[in-house]
Amino acid sequence: MVKNAATLGRSGVHDFVLLRASALVLASFVLFMVGFLALTPELTFESWHGLFSHTAMKVYTLVSLVALLVHGWIGLWQVLTDYIKPAGLRAFLQFAVNLVLLAYLFAGVVILWGV
Protein backbone atom coordinates (compact mmCIF):
# COMPACT_ATOMS: atom_id res chain seq x y z
CA MET A 1 0.00 0.00 0.00
CA VAL A 2 1.29 3.44 -0.92
CA LYS A 3 1.38 5.98 1.90
CA ASN A 4 1.15 9.68 1.15
CA ALA A 5 3.02 11.87 3.62
CA ALA A 6 1.01 14.96 2.64
CA THR A 7 -2.28 13.75 4.04
CA LEU A 8 -3.22 14.44 7.62
CA GLY A 9 -4.77 11.05 8.15
CA ARG A 10 -3.23 7.67 7.58
CA SER A 11 -5.49 6.81 4.66
CA GLY A 12 -8.42 8.07 2.65
CA VAL A 13 -10.85 6.53 5.13
CA HIS A 14 -9.07 8.22 8.03
CA ASP A 15 -9.20 11.56 6.21
CA PHE A 16 -12.92 11.00 5.54
CA VAL A 17 -13.58 10.36 9.24
CA LEU A 18 -11.50 13.39 10.27
CA LEU A 19 -13.44 15.60 7.86
CA ARG A 20 -16.80 14.39 9.18
CA ALA A 21 -15.76 14.67 12.82
CA SER A 22 -14.35 18.16 12.34
CA ALA A 23 -17.52 19.18 10.49
CA LEU A 24 -19.62 18.02 13.46
CA VAL A 25 -17.47 19.99 15.91
CA LEU A 26 -17.67 23.10 13.72
CA ALA A 27 -21.44 22.74 13.29
CA SER A 28 -21.95 22.44 17.04
CA PHE A 29 -19.76 25.50 17.66
CA VAL A 30 -21.62 27.57 15.07
CA LEU A 31 -25.00 26.53 16.49
CA PHE A 32 -23.84 27.38 20.01
CA MET A 33 -22.57 30.81 18.93
CA VAL A 34 -25.73 31.57 16.93
CA GLY A 35 -27.81 30.55 19.97
CA PHE A 36 -25.71 32.72 22.26
CA LEU A 37 -26.00 35.72 19.95
CA ALA A 38 -29.75 35.20 19.47
CA LEU A 39 -30.49 34.76 23.17
CA THR A 40 -28.29 37.54 24.53
CA PRO A 41 -30.55 40.59 24.77
CA GLU A 42 -27.74 43.12 24.67
CA LEU A 43 -24.35 42.08 23.40
CA THR A 44 -21.78 44.02 25.37
CA PHE A 45 -18.12 43.57 26.14
CA GLU A 46 -19.06 42.26 29.59
CA SER A 47 -21.31 39.52 28.19
CA TRP A 48 -18.72 38.56 25.58
CA HIS A 49 -15.94 38.58 28.18
CA GLY A 50 -18.11 36.57 30.55
CA LEU A 51 -18.64 33.91 27.91
CA PHE A 52 -14.97 33.54 27.05
CA SER A 53 -13.68 33.83 30.62
CA HIS A 54 -14.80 30.27 31.37
CA THR A 55 -12.17 27.61 30.81
CA ALA A 56 -14.73 25.29 29.20
CA MET A 57 -15.51 27.89 26.53
CA LYS A 58 -11.82 28.45 25.85
CA VAL A 59 -11.30 24.71 25.43
CA TYR A 60 -14.39 24.41 23.22
CA THR A 61 -13.16 27.28 21.07
CA LEU A 62 -9.68 25.80 20.83
CA VAL A 63 -11.09 22.38 19.87
CA SER A 64 -13.21 24.13 17.24
CA LEU A 65 -10.18 25.99 15.93
CA VAL A 66 -8.21 22.74 15.65
CA ALA A 67 -11.21 21.16 13.89
CA LEU A 68 -11.27 24.08 11.46
CA LEU A 69 -7.56 23.66 10.78
CA VAL A 70 -7.90 19.89 10.24
CA HIS A 71 -10.85 20.48 7.94
CA GLY A 72 -8.97 23.14 5.99
CA TRP A 73 -5.78 21.11 5.80
CA ILE A 74 -7.46 18.01 4.37
CA GLY A 75 -9.87 19.92 2.15
CA LEU A 76 -7.24 22.16 0.61
CA TRP A 77 -4.86 19.23 0.18
CA GLN A 78 -7.55 17.42 -1.79
CA VAL A 79 -8.33 20.47 -3.92
CA LEU A 80 -4.66 21.18 -4.62
CA THR A 81 -4.01 17.53 -5.45
CA ASP A 82 -6.95 17.44 -7.86
CA TYR A 83 -6.46 20.77 -9.64
CA ILE A 84 -2.78 21.76 -9.45
CA LYS A 85 -0.83 19.34 -11.64
CA PRO A 86 2.75 20.76 -11.55
CA ALA A 87 4.36 19.07 -8.54
CA GLY A 88 6.57 22.02 -7.59
CA LEU A 89 3.73 24.53 -7.59
CA ARG A 90 1.48 22.12 -5.66
CA ALA A 91 4.20 21.51 -3.05
CA PHE A 92 4.74 25.25 -2.64
CA LEU A 93 1.01 25.93 -2.27
CA GLN A 94 0.62 23.10 0.24
CA PHE A 95 3.55 24.49 2.22
CA ALA A 96 2.04 27.99 2.14
CA VAL A 97 -1.37 26.67 3.24
CA ASN A 98 0.24 24.76 6.11
CA LEU A 99 2.15 27.86 7.24
CA VAL A 100 -1.03 29.95 7.22
CA LEU A 101 -2.96 27.30 9.15
CA LEU A 102 -0.20 27.02 11.77
CA ALA A 103 -0.13 30.81 12.08
CA TYR A 104 -3.89 30.74 12.68
CA LEU A 105 -3.40 28.08 15.36
CA PHE A 106 -0.71 30.07 17.17
CA ALA A 107 -2.74 33.28 16.91
CA GLY A 108 -5.80 31.48 18.28
CA VAL A 109 -3.86 30.09 21.24
CA VAL A 110 -2.43 33.52 22.03
CA ILE A 111 -5.83 35.20 21.74
CA LEU A 112 -7.65 32.58 23.81
CA TRP A 113 -5.12 31.89 26.53
CA GLY A 114 -3.05 35.08 26.47
CA VAL A 115 0.20 33.12 26.28
Per-residue model confidence as pLDDT tens digits over 5-19: 555 556 789 999 999
Asked if the structure places residue 101 within a domain, the reply is: yes
Q: Specify if 26 maps to a domain.
A: yes
Residue 52 lies in a domain: yes
Which residues span the domain enclosing 63? Answer: 12-113
Question: Any idea how long the chain is?
Answer: 115
Give a yes or no: residue 73 inside a domain.
yes
**Is residue 90 in some structural domain?**
yes
Q: What pTM does this model have?
A: 0.83
The CATH number given to whatever domain includes residue 83 is 1.20.1300.10
104 is in an annotated binding site: no
pLDDT-derived band at 99 (thresholds 50, 70, 90) equals: very high
DSSP symbols for the chain: ----TTSSSSSHHHHHHHHHHHHHHHHHHHHHHHHHHHH-SS--HHHHHHHHTSHHHHHHHHHHHHHHHHHHHHHHHHHHHHH--SHHHHHHHHHHHHHHHHHHHHHHHHHHH--
Give the separation between CA 18 and CA 62, rounded to whole angstroms: 16
* pLDDT digit string, tens, across residues 35-53: 999 999 899 999 999 999 9
Contact 57, 51 (CB under 8 A): yes
Predicted local distance difference test score (pLDDT) of residue 63: 96
60 is in an annotated binding site: no
Structural domains of the chain, count:
1
Does some domain include residue 7?
A: no
Kindly state whether residue 6 falls inside one of the protein's structural domains.
Answer: no
Identity of residue 14: H
